[in-house]
Amino acid sequence: MAEPRVFIFWDNSNIYISGQQVGDRKEGLFAHKTFRIDFDHLFHLAHADRPVDSAIAVGSIPPELRQLWGEFEKATGVRAVLHERGAQSGREQAEDAVLQVHMLRALCDERDPQIAVLMTGDGKGYEDGVGFHADLERMADRGWAIEVLAWEHSCRKRLRKWAERVGVFIPLDRYYESVTFLESHRFVQPLNLTHRPCAKPKAPRPVFIIPSAKPASAPIQPIALTPEQQREMKWQQRRERGKRKQEKRLKAMQKRGKRKGK
């Protein structure tokens, strides 16, 4: 069997915005203004020197970073589906559904289980059977190895516990200085993957086909008798009782005769 390949699904907005919050906590209140993600190191952390089949990054970015993403796409092959933030609101305009479509396409197109690496923290929609978490469960049921990379404070508790149980959860906080930098203030540190755990594909969960229950036999319906038939049946029953009584009397008389003869 060929070596399993890595499929990377990158929720850039969640990683970037949650990372800014971590930066403020670690390096001061205004660190978010110069906070940046080192795309090369984060991508390296995701694939961990394993063969990459595809990588898709979805999210919103400020206009000034679009060129940087373009250079990263050329260097790594990561396909970026990016949307600029609104000039006034700055709210994210990308939809999670774009990333989910690529997840389900990979699940349908690949015959053998592979490795799914999701970089996010968003587990919303699970109760309704939608969202990243629900789609990851579908992949896990087909034997895919599951790895979730997220910031600890922003990752939904349900998603984290499930990832730890079925695969691997990697808190980005452990690699903070190696996957981020502060522009003009702090350089990115070397990335060490020595203790980076990796999940392996498993055999798909068997599907049990429950045979349909055989239809229950129809209950026996009583036969409706005409009045004449009912009378005939009662007469036969009385005749049978009379015969049995007569047989008993004959047996009793025979026993008495034998006794007298003695």
Predicted local distance difference test score (pLDDT) of residue 212: 59
Residue 75 vs residue 12, higher pLDDT: 12
Query: Tell me, what DSSP letter sits at residue 48?
Result: T
Whether the CA torsion 210, 212, 214, 218 is positive or negative: it is positive
Residue 240 vs residue 127, higher pLDDT: 240
Domain 6-182 has CATH 3.40.50.1010: yes
Mean predicted confidence (pLDDT) in 188-215: 80
Has residue 93 got a pLDDT over 60? Answer: no
The model's pLDDT over 19-74, given as tens digits with 9 standing for 90+, comes to 999 999 988 878 888 898 898 999 999 999 999 999 988 876 666 667 777 777 87
Alpha helix stretches (DSSP H) within the chain? 12-27, 39-47, 66-76, 96-109, 131-141, 157-166, 176-179, 227-261
Residue 1 vs residue 37, higher pLDDT: 37
Q: Do β-strands 145-150 and 52-61 pair in parallel, antiparallel, or remain unpaired?
A: unpaired
The model's pLDDT over 233-249, given as tens digits with 9 standing for 90+, comes to 777 777 777 777 777 87
